[in-house]
Amino acid sequence: MSNSTLPLRPSLEYLRKLAKDRLPVLRGTTPGARLADALLAVAQDHGFSSWRALKAEVDRRRGDLTSRWFEAVRRCDTDAVRALLREDPSVLRARESRHDATALHVAAAANNVEMARVLLDAGADPNDTADDEHIAVIGWATFFAQPGDIRRDVVTLLVERGARHHIFSAIALGDLEVIRTLVEQHPETLDARLSPRHHGQTALHFAIARGRADILDLLIDLDADLDATDHNGQTAMEFARLRGNHQAAKRLLEAGARQPVRTSALEGPAVASGFANSIQSSTPVIGSRDVAATLAWYTSLGFTEVARYPTDGSGVFWGLVTLGKAEITFDVRETQGARGVSLLLVTDRVQDLYEFFKSRQLERADVEFVQTLHEPVHGGVEFSVRDPNGLTLRFLQEQK
């Protein structure tokens, strides 16, 4: 807006304070004046027709700054980051809309030591736990690498600057001494749970998911609750059995864990065929290291982009295109799989299908689960299994 008199870095809180200060003055001439009238007066003082228009401009400017901030962090442009901090120091507390992550979370996940040091020097909180995963900065430094592939540089820096390990970051790091010390100092840490996105896993579940038999043995020795269940109602024993980890299941059984309850009534081809009408579509999901660029390439050939996630353009990791009646989905997470491709089947009976496959695995041990029932970030409820060829079959019930 050309006639706007807003400063370069306007503060909505300051503008609201101006309105509150203006209100008594307005009531001196107009006794019935309300805060809305004062907000309007402040907006007009700055060249806007309404408070809503002023707020939209402040949000736009703030959004531009936040976008430039995270772009600079991702490309490790320390000079640009320092310049943006001089422009507006509060940007250090900015969060990405997708994960409520700060720049330090992003730098930690990328093992970007130089960037993490700049942010910590500027006052970033190494123990920020407000991300939507609730795993803190040190969790981002350890969770998002494949087991056995964690680079410890950024973890060392975070700990030096005061970051505190929790049981899950210690397990992801794979450091037995850190785990032992943590539990000895804080025994209640064995009762901690991951967020619903990670199925409310206990430390035992998480150790099994990371494929760490040595950590599982340590947790058993430290007296972890062998029969504690995750948010799917599964004990660590059942979780191990569903994932085909018979060695972990044997360790737990020998330590005194209960055997899973079997539901043989769900067994058999007749039951499976009864789910046929619930399958509404099937779509190949192809691994892509750059989903946004892949979507651009397909649309340039005449495909139609139907959806992408997230929609704000920051770190797109999922997208869907169509051509006629054909659909193809791209997902950066598939690049971590054995084959780089999976098959997504949409159903309206995901819970029933899950119970069927679960029963089959407990009875015959021939249906390995990749992920148990959970809510993916893009909505709905999903689980996945692996076929004898290594192909992942994902069953999704979409959000209504």
pLDDT, the chain, mean: 88
The lowest-confidence range among 31-40, 265-274, 303-312 is: 265-274
Averaged over 246-262, what is the pLDDT? 91
| Confidence bin at 101 (pLDDT 50/70/90) | very high
Residues whose CB falls within 8 Å of the CB of residue 370, separated by 6 or more in sequence, listed in order: 243, 384, 385, 386, 392
Looking up tokens 């509060």, which residue turns up? 90
pTM: 0.73
Give the CATH class of 275-397: alpha beta
Write the pLDDT tens digit of every residue in 3-27.
Answer: 567 766 677 777 888 989 988 989 8
Residue 1 carries which side chain, given as an amino acid letter?
M
- Tokens (6 digits) for 100: 């409520």
Instruction: Describe the crossing of helices 35-45 and 51-74 by its angle, rounded to 10 degrees.
Output: 70
Averaged over 24-39, what is the pLDDT? 89
What's the pLDDT score for residue 363?
85
Residues whose CB falls within 8 Å of the CB of residue 26, separated by 6 or more in sequence, listed in order: 33, 37, 38, 41
What's the pLDDT score for residue 144?
75
What's the pLDDT score for residue 1?
38
In the sheet with 318-323, reading across from the earlier edge strand, the strands are 304-309, 318-323, 326-331, 279-287, 341-347, 392-397, 381-386, 368-374
Write the pLDDT tens digit of every residue in 138-155.
Answer: 999 998 765 555 668 999
Identify the H or E element spanning 177. helix 176-185
Write the pLDDT tens digit of every residue in 329-382.
Answer: 999 888 776 578 999 999 999 999 998 899 888 888 888 999 888 888 778 999
Write the pLDDT tens digit of every residue in 267-290.
Answer: 555 556 678 888 988 999 999 989
- For residues 327 and 392, give the distance between their C-alpha atoms in angstroms, rounded to a whole number: 18
Write down the domain spans for the chain.
1-80, 168-254, 275-397
Residues whose CB falls within 8 Å of the CB of residue 194, separated by 6 or more in sequence, listed in order: 135, 168, 200, 201, 206
**Domain spanning 168-254 has what CATH number?**
1.25.40.20
Identify the H or E element spanning 305. strand 304-309
DSSP state of 340: S
What proportion of the chain, given as a percentage, has pLDDT over 90? 53
